[in-house]
Amino acid sequence: LKAVVDSLLLSMEKSMRKNVNVSAVIFRTIFVTLGVVGILSSLGWFNREYNINWYVFYTNLSNYICIIVMFISLIFSAKGKDTVLPRFRFYCLIMILVTFFVYNILLSGEHTPYTYFTDISCTLLHCVLPIMYFLDWLLFCKRNTLKVVDPILSVIMPLIYVAYIVIRSSLITHPAKGVVIYPYFFLDLGKLGWSGFLGWVGVLLAIFIALGYILYMVDKVIKGKNKSCLLYTSPSPRDA
């Protein structure tokens, strides 16, 4: 037991010497672990039934991207290095907040509180991981890296998804049984028509660009030593 404790203390000492943010490493490890569980759940692993529509839902795709980005950030933080691509991480933040707000405001009515929080995939991908990603950005990501145009650029990935759904729906003329064409009612071009479709997309874009500027201001307001975030520690030159 003493050997184990000594080993842990030695590891912590080495981490401190390398300027590793232990809190960030622990937080991101938990995120990635829960993310893997969420991915498996979205694929139907826990239901013992393959989900043939996993690649259609924005929830899944946005979480997959954020999990990959968080895994890369975990590696960087474990090495005591700067957070990778802070502007792109901001784009991912807006992308996953779209998941959080759209689902919980517009789509979660089909769930009772019990079914919502007992569904592993639903809870992780729509609630836990988006909130954790936001907290990671708030607590550990380097500040003052954003440009005034970034809140607008941050909706490019959601727009790519919208284009993907439109193109995919036009190519599928005879869908197989169980195949989802329009995953969300506000993207159902067949029912809404172009005017309704563009109306929904325009309103959502405006809301999330506005949210982006709110977070942009938060990024400017929260200032710490070395332009760092609340719990972020900038690497020393010798460790860079």
pLDDT at 156: 97
pLDDT at 147: 94
Task: Tell me the three-class secondary structure of the chain, residue by residue.
Answer: CHHHHHHHHHHHHHHHHCCCCHHHHHHHHHHHHHHHHHHHHHCCCCCCCCCCCCCCCHHHHHHHHHHHHHHHHHHHHHCCCCCCCHHHHHHHHHHHHHHHHHHHHHHHHHCCHHHHHHCHHHHHHHHHHHHHHHHHHHHHCCCCCCCCCHHHHCCHHHHHHHHHHHHHHHHCCCCCCCCCCCCCHHHCHHHHHHHHHHHHHHHHHHHHHHHHHHHHHHHHHCCCHHHCCCCCCCCCHHHC
Residues of the chain with pLDDT under 50: 16-17, 224-228, 232-240
pLDDT at 236: 45
pLDDT at 48: 83
pLDDT at 79: 83
pLDDT at 47: 81
pLDDT at 239: 42
